Chains A and B, each alone.
Chain A
Amino acid sequence: MVSSVIFFLLAGFAIACAISLVYHKNPLYSAISLIGVFIALAGLYVTLAATFIAVTQILVYAGAIMVLVVFVIMLLNLDEDKPLNRLRHLYVIGAGLGVALLAQTFFIFYAVLKTPKTPAEPDQLAGSPMSIGLAMYTEYLLPVEIVGVMLLMAIIGAVILVRKMEQPEIEALSEDVSDKRIE
């Protein structure tokens, strides 16, 4: 009883935040709504006994990524969105994607109804940090390594992109580019 009340509170909060995220004209309000969605999702993960994933969700999404988003919005001091008439044809694609998402949701409902209900084993610690760490370094070692290399590439790329170069270096670079164009 208590758990379903908590579920509906969190789910309702997440949906309300998601709606306000889409419909707000002010980008900062949208960003704050997105933080609300993340926190509500983290609450849902806690009710599913996946505390590690819940905490990681808050730490990474709400705490780090959204801080950067809010930072950019504050620095650029964006105005309210103007109605974009020239992008009206995208509404059709949006509607199509929405219908696809709805169909997917109903399919998941259907699949859950069809599967036989088996009670979870009580000693199964699927959400604990220990089991996640073990799975990451045994069963899923290759994906973890690939993601690690990709993140390293992204970090190095970001450092190179924002590095201040001396004027001769930039000129040398642009000369290279123009040479290639002539060829």
Chain B
Amino acid sequence: MESALQTAFPFIVISVGILLAFQGVLMIVAYTVLAERKVLGWIQGRIGPNRVGPWGVLQPFADLLKFIFKEDLVPDKSTKFIYFLAPLVALTCALLPIVLYPFGPRIADPLGWLVPYTAGIPYVGDAMPWIAEQAMNMPLTIAQLDVGVLFILAITSVGVYGIALAGWSSNNKYSLMGGLRSSAQMISYELAMGASIIGVVILAGTLDLNGIIQAQSAGPWYMRWYIIPQFIGFIVFLIAAFAETNRVPFDLPEAETELVAGFHTEYSALKFALFFMAEYVNMFTVSVLCTVLFLGGWYTPGISYIFEVGSIPYALASHVTFLLKIFGFLFLYIWIRGTLPRFRFDQLMSFGWKFLLPLAIANVIFTIVIVFFLNV
């Protein structure tokens, strides 16, 4: 019995971690939607949603209920299997990178303080010291992969299929145009995005997300956050990230004025909600990536002077700064949506290929030369 528990323990820990991480990210995403409507309202001189709950805080759940109970219309002449597959692909590829998010630093002894309190309780009291010992040096990441950055890029590149197949299978010309535009856009900007990351990888010497954060926390003051040595890379990454997530000013796949709603014109009810969720989870993922690569992830200078490294308060404070940086990027997304108009499609393509990609490649060459001659 005891040994069975001991074999099952790692799986239980991973299951709890996955549950917490996915639930947390999805809640943040739900409230990003509310924040977007509120902030857009303020930018446009309106109040925004304020009817459901105090200050509109229950609006995301009201929206979800509405999506669930709406009638699900399937176009008669659509390619049924692909029509059902597309939203699943989109959301799965959006959710998969969550397993790699570095939520915070390692905690040396997260459960040790519980042992004295549980000493008197039968069963739990006996098992607690063992559990506390197992939890020693606990990482705040579900899976640590030595090619983490590449994994996230690969999964987001598979996410294109969700949109392209949705556009094709709906048997609607507006959907098809939206799907084609979106695939072309994502293929083009993926290159610039990948090239802008290479500079960071050269400086850090690793593709592991936690390793990149560690490299940033160990360098001299001007290397503490890679936004300082890699400012061009940061700008390129940020612009490419807007294009990758199909957000304003690059939201041509769903340009209302010309394509009705683009690739999801024929989708209704929960299937539309899956696309909607995938878009916001993707926003969250590129914000995490941007934070980890250029803003030090959970590492913020100064916290290690206040709290002891490895203690629970240090991890919590680091985690809060990590979330604050991500919220900053999410606010930037909403802010830009409220202020900028949309690109024209040929402008979008020539901007991506003729300006952004050469700039990113120049940045890579510049970084290589600097690293080679200065040995940083």
- Chain B residues with Cβ below 8 Å from A70 are 161, 164-165, 183
Beyond A28-B168, A63-B160, A129-B147, whether A71 also contacts B82 by CB under 8 A is no
Which residue on A lies nearest to B164, using beta carbons?
A: A70
A74 touches B154 (CB 8 A): no
Q: Which of A1-57 contact B (CB under 8 A)?
A: 28-29, 32, 35, 39, 51-52, 55-56
A62 touches B147 (CB 8 A): no
- Chain A residues with Cβ below 8 Å from B176 are 74
B157 adjacent to chain A (CB < 8 Å): yes
Size of chain B's interface in residues, with CB distance under 8 A?
28
- Chain A residues with Cβ below 8 Å from B160 are 63, 67
Q: Which of B51-96 contact A (CB under 8 A)?
A: 79, 81-82, 85
Interface residues of B (CB under 8 A from A): 79, 81-82, 85, 145-147, 150-151, 153-155, 157-158, 160-161, 164-165, 167-168, 176, 179-180, 183-184, 187, 190, 207
Beyond A55-B147, A70-B164, A128-B146, whether A64 also contacts B187 by CB under 8 A is yes
Beyond A28-B168, A32-B82, whether A59 also contacts B154 by CB under 8 A is yes
B151 touches A63 (CB 8 A): no
A59 to B165, CA, bound (A): 18
Least Cβ distance of A71 to chain B in Å? 6
A59 touches B180 (CB 8 A): no
B153 touches A59 (CB 8 A): yes
Chain B interface mostly: helix
A75 touches B153 (CB 8 A): no
Instruction: Select A35's contact among B82, B161, B184, beta carbons within 8 Å.
Output: B161
- Chain B residues with Cβ below 8 Å from A68 are 187
A62 to B151, CA, bound (A): 13
Starting from the known contacts A63-B158, A64-B157, A67-B160, 6 additional A-B residue pairs (CB-CB under 8 Å) come to A28-B79, A29-B82, A55-B150, A62-B158, A71-B184, A74-B176
Which residue on B lies nearest to A71, using beta carbons?
A: B183
Which residue on B lies nearest to A53, using beta carbons?
A: B147
Instruction: Sort A-B residue pairs by CB-CB distance and give the 3 closest, nearest first.
Output: A63-B157, A59-B154, A58-B154
Instruction: Select A28's contact among B82, B145, B207, beta carbons within 8 Å.
Output: B82
B154 touches A55 (CB 8 A): yes
- Of the candidates A29, A63, A64, A75, the one having the most CB atoms from chain B within 10 angstroms of its own CB is A63
A51 touches B155 (CB 8 A): no
Beyond A52-B147, A74-B176, A128-B146, whether A58 also contacts B158 by CB under 8 A is yes
B158 touches A74 (CB 8 A): no
Contact with B along A57-91 (1 / 0, CB 8 A): 01100111001101100110000000000000000
- Chain B residues with Cβ below 8 Å from A128 are 146
- Chain B residues with Cβ below 8 Å from A67 are 157, 160-161, 164, 183, 187
B150 touches A52 (CB 8 A): yes
- Chain A residues with Cβ below 8 Å from B151 are 51, 55
A71 touches B164 (CB 8 A): yes
- Of the candidates B145, B151, B154, B184, the one having the most CB atoms from chain A within 10 angstroms of its own CB is B154
A129 touches B164 (CB 8 A): no
Least Cβ distance of A107 to chain B in Å? 33
A67 to B154, CA, bound (A): 13
Q: Which of A138-171 contact B (CB under 8 A)?
A: none
Contact with B along A104-115 (1 / 0, CB 8 A): 000000000000
Instruction: Select B180's contact among A58, A64, A71, A129, beta carbons within 8 Å.
Output: A71
